[in-house]
Amino acid sequence: MKKILLLLGLCLNLSCQGQNQKLEISPSIIAPDEVASIKINGLKPGQKVILRSEAEDLNRRKWTAIAEFHADKQGMIDLSEKAPHSGSYKGANPMGLVQFLSLPDGEAPQIRFASDAEQKIAIGFFLDIDGQAIESGLLTIDFQKSSLQNELIENEPFKGRLFLPDDDKKYPAIIVLSGSDGGWGSVHNARLLASKGFIALALPYFGVDGLPQSLDQISVNYFQSAIDWLEKHDRIIKDKIGILGKSKGGEAALLLASYDARIKAVVGNGASGLIWGCVCSNGTSSWSYNGSPLPYIKSESDPNYQRGEGELLNIGINYKYRIKKAGQAIKKYEIPVEKINGPVLLISGKKDDIWPSFQLSEMVMNRLAQNQFPHEFQHLSYENAGHSISSTFLPVRGTNPNFRGTLTLGGTLEGNAEASRDSWPKVLAFFERHLK
């Protein structure tokens, strides 16, 4: 709060210096997946201005972005329509000065903007004309903008955290799964979905006390126990349950939906239509059902892949090698997605370096088409995106390489930003269309 007040005080002081020029930010408080309208009025036609943004993360690092604009014939600049002439980002982007906030050159590229759902992010905007800051504004990103109820689930056959709109009405439910990072990584998206009028269950499946500590033969039955529980919840419309999975969680989402007809809508982000080996040292399957491991493609490295000195590790090459080596035998490792009892939406980046999610998603689309799948199915693919397609408009710095700076996640920062900005509204529209 102190940080927001300091920025607000500076913004008010600068506003007193402005004359005809007006910086408008509306709304001034947004959720992390919402877009603010940022406009500058009162300029001369063609007038050159600089618009800067700055914010401080939880680690007290100062992040900045900058863009030079030229006013249109009406003396106005609308960031949703006007591309900057130069600066931190390219192309028209209403949230460009947020998504492309960055640290000074020389800082490790994997460092991400440190944030916390309990803390608001205050972003100051400063309008410079002829080298003088004459106008300013404040945009606040509030992770808890919507009032929600939540329940921690500990004494059931599964672990989870349920987020609910703050009323007593009934809503559709969405199970939310994170990827091979495990733990509670799905909480953020569950909170966002609940703010849009769903009841969302963040469902960890390993890496949490009381659950397996590695992604090793996780049982489909475990996920089904969560569906059993959701169906009995008095706030949930029992025949309106969907699922959203990221990466390995996307693989799990397709798998669960193919085994359980109670799932009525599926979204997979960076997902796989093949069953892979565990993320562990045991050399076993990632998944099991009724106590038996499911057939899987064994982990194996491409013998021809040699990482150059100073290069990040590209593990996606190994996944491509395994697919090629399996040949026609790969059919026995495919998830029977044609059994899914509802529409399917997949999202992928064509430059994904964790695994070839574009190819893996196309396999799903082809199998659905070949089996004359009766429901809607769609694949949103993005040319320059990698494995870090997000649900928010937070800074994209750190989306490649990974947080340890050892793996390449693929894609460009611009590609990841565009894919995130384009895909998340389509995910929300998909669930609105098929669950409400």
How many domains would you assign to the chain? Answer: 2
pLDDT tens-digit readout, 344-394: 999 999 999 999 999 999 999 999 999 999 999 999 999 999 999 999 999
- % of residues, the chain, pLDDT over 70: 96
The per-residue pLDDT of the chain, averaged, comes to 94
DSSP 303-354: TT--PPTTPPB-THHHHHHHHHHHGGGGGGGB--GGG-SS-EEEEEETTBSS
pLDDT at 99 over 60: yes
Task: Determine the structural domain holding residue 299 and report its residue range.
Answer: 148-435
Judgement on whether residues 117 and 260 belong to the same structural domain of the protein = no
Q: How far is CA 334 from CA 130, 296, 339, 376, 391, in A?
A: 61, 9, 12, 20, 27
Judgement on whether residues 152 and 221 belong to the same structural domain of the protein = yes
pLDDT at 200 over 80: yes
**CA angle, 129 then 135 then 139, to 5°:** 125
Judgement on whether residues 274 and 342 belong to the same structural domain of the protein = yes
Query: CATH number of the domain that 382 lies in?
Result: 3.40.50.1820
* Mean pLDDT of all residues in 52-74: 96
Judgement on whether residues 311 and 390 belong to the same structural domain of the protein = yes
Judgement on whether residues 7 and 106 belong to the same structural domain of the protein = yes
Domain end position, chosen among 126, 141, 156? 141
pLDDT at 339 over 60: yes
* Mean pLDDT of all residues in 291-310: 94
pLDDT at 9 over 80: no
Judgement on whether residues 128 and 160 belong to the same structural domain of the protein = no
> What's the pTM?
0.93
E-strand stretches of 130-216: 132-141, 148-153, 160-165, 171-177, 199-202
Judgement on whether residues 200 and 57 belong to the same structural domain of the protein = no
Judgement on whether residues 106 and 166 belong to the same structural domain of the protein = no
* Mean pLDDT of all residues in 166-171: 97
The token duo for 2 is 């102190």
d(CA 391, CA 393): 7
Judgement on whether residues 250 and 187 belong to the same structural domain of the protein = yes
pLDDT tens-digit readout, 260-283: 999 999 999 999 999 999 988 888
Burial category of 288 from C-beta neighbours within 10 Å (exposed 0-12, middle 13-18, buried 19 and up): middle
Residue 283, pLDDT score: 86
Residue 18, pLDDT score: 45
pLDDT at 238 over 80: yes
Pick from 314, 323, 316, 321: nearest CA to 274: 323
Partners of residue 236 on adjacent β-strands: 171
* Mean pLDDT of all residues in 27-41: 97
Residues 6 or more apart in contact with residue 228 via CB below 8 angstroms = none
Domain end position, chosen among 141, 175, 200? 141
Query: CATH number of the domain that 102 lies in?
Result: 2.60.40.2240
The token duo for 363 is 């396999």
pLDDT at 6 over 80: no
Per-residue pLDDT band at 223 (split at 50, 70, 90): very high
Per-residue pLDDT band at 21 (split at 50, 70, 90): confident
Residue 5, pLDDT score: 45
Residue 113, classed as helix, strand or coil, is coil
* Mean pLDDT of all residues in 78-104: 96
d(CA 27, CA 120): 15
Residue 1, pLDDT score: 52
pLDDT tens-digit readout, 125-146: 999 999 999 999 999 999 999 9
Domain end position, chosen among 119, 141, 163? 141
Judgement on whether residues 95 and 167 belong to the same structural domain of the protein = no
d(CA 435, CA 427): 12
Judgement on whether residues 93 and 231 belong to the same structural domain of the protein = no
Judgement on whether residues 319 and 188 belong to the same structural domain of the protein = yes
Residue 17, pLDDT score: 46
The token duo for 114 is 């440190």
